[in-house]
Amino acid sequence: MIEAEWWDYDSVEEMAEAVAGDVGFIIESALDARGSALIALPADETARAIFPQLGQASLQWKQVMVIPTDDLIVAVDNERSKARALAHAFLSKGARVVPIVTPLDDYRLAGNSADARLQDLPWPPDLAWLSVGSDGSAAGIAAGPDLQDALDAPKARRAVGVMSESGEPRVTLTRSSILSSRTILITLRGQDKRDMLEQAIADGQSSKLPIGRVLAEAEQPIDIHWCA
Ligand SMILES: O=C(O)[C@H](O)[C@@H](O)[C@H](O)[C@H](O)COP(=O)(O)O
């Protein structure tokens, strides 16, 4: 049974303040416990609206490593690169942003390369922050030919390459990487996505949606931050 706590806000600004506070606390706790923090962040629109607030947190950013939960297989200077968005938000704070994409033609090899990079980082992440796609995707785990690979990858495997149904290659953290994270937080907007996520959580392992299948095996409580 998924233990999910919903936090509802009247505006994005309110949500940004609360989520930035929570993420700041997660980072601070990791710094206190281990001297460094590793956080996996989405770099989609909702999350990007929260980054400026988070960036203002007075933290030892130099000890913080930031990775994307998933990324498109594009060069890091491509404006759609999620690593680029994270670098834009956090490099000036002193954080280390670790891109996970090698722009290879074969997305599965790009996945191997992402995995190899992540194998060098202290694991597990202190935070996996997920956004929810309108197709029910979580991180880059989406319906398509590689869904099962991303869901069933062995525990030691940190990232895989996946092809979306629309034919867009990307790399993503595996379900086991997400679930190994010390905390999981979700941000989403809009009633449609809320209805979808509530249903996915209720359906759990039998959910048709990737997000339902990812969360079904979570052992930690999940904080879900929502605004209309
Ligand atoms: O890479 C993508 O195609 C996006 O990651 C997408 O799937 C995203 O997760 C949703 O659009 C939710 O993002 P927002 O909450 O910012 O709308």
For the chain, the domains span 4-227
For residue 33, the CA-to-ligand 1 centroid distance in Å is 32
For residue 132, the CA-to-ligand 1 centroid distance in Å is 6
Residues enclosing ligand 1, CB less than 6 A? Answer: 44-46, 131-133, 137, 188-189
Q: What pLDDT, on the 0 to 100 scale, is given for residue 199?
A: 97
First to last CA, the chain: 26
Task: Answer yes or no: are the C-beta atoms of 65 and 96 closer than 8 Å.
Answer: yes
Per DSSP, the three-state class of 116 is helix
Q: Residue 166 CB: number of other CB atoms within 10 A?
A: 8
Q: Residue 212 CB: number of other CB atoms within 10 A?
A: 22
What ipTM score was computed for the predicted complex, to two decimals?
Answer: 0.89
| Amino acid type, 5 | E
Q: What pLDDT, on the 0 to 100 scale, is given for residue 1?
A: 76
The first and second tokens of residue 138, run together, are 């979580």
Q: Which of 27, 97, 95, 31 is nearest to 61 (CA)?
A: 95
For residue 79, the CA-to-ligand 1 centroid distance in Å is 15
Among 131, 166, 170, which is best to mutate for testing ligand 1, by the most ligand atoms less than 8 A from CB?
131
Q: Which atom of ligand 1 is nearest to the CA of 44?
A: 16
Q: Residue 204 CB: number of other CB atoms within 10 A?
A: 14
- Torsion, CA 17, CA 19, CA 23, CA 28, rounded to 10: 40
For residue 34, the CA-to-ligand 1 centroid distance in Å is 31
Gap between the Cα atoms of 122 and 199, Å rounded: 34
Consecutive sets of 10 residues in the chain, 228 residues long: mean pLDDT of each?
94 98 98 98 97 98 98 95 98 98 96 98 98 97 97 97 95 98 98 98 96 96 97
Q: What pLDDT, on the 0 to 100 scale, is given for residue 2?
A: 86
The first and second tokens of residue 43, run together, are 């770099």
Q: Which atom of ligand 1 is nearest to the CA of 45?
A: 16
Report the topology of domain 4-227: Rossmann fold (3.40.50)
For the entire predicted model, the pTM comes to 0.97
- Write 16-22 long-range contacts (CB < 8 A, 24+): 16/49, 16/50, 16/52, 16/53, 17/53, 18/225, 19/50, 19/53, 19/54, 19/185, 19/187, 19/225, 20/50, 20/53, 20/54, 20/56, 20/57, 22/185, 22/223, 22/225
Name the closest-CA residue to atom 6, ligand 1: 133
Among 81, 137, 147, which is best to mutate for testing ligand 1, by the most ligand atoms less than 8 A from CB?
137
Q: Report CA torsion sign: 50, 55, 61, 66.
A: positive
DSSP H stretches of helix in the chain:
12-34, 45-55, 82-90, 107-119, 147-152, 175-180, 191-203, 210-215
Q: Residue 69 CB: number of other CB atoms within 10 A?
A: 29
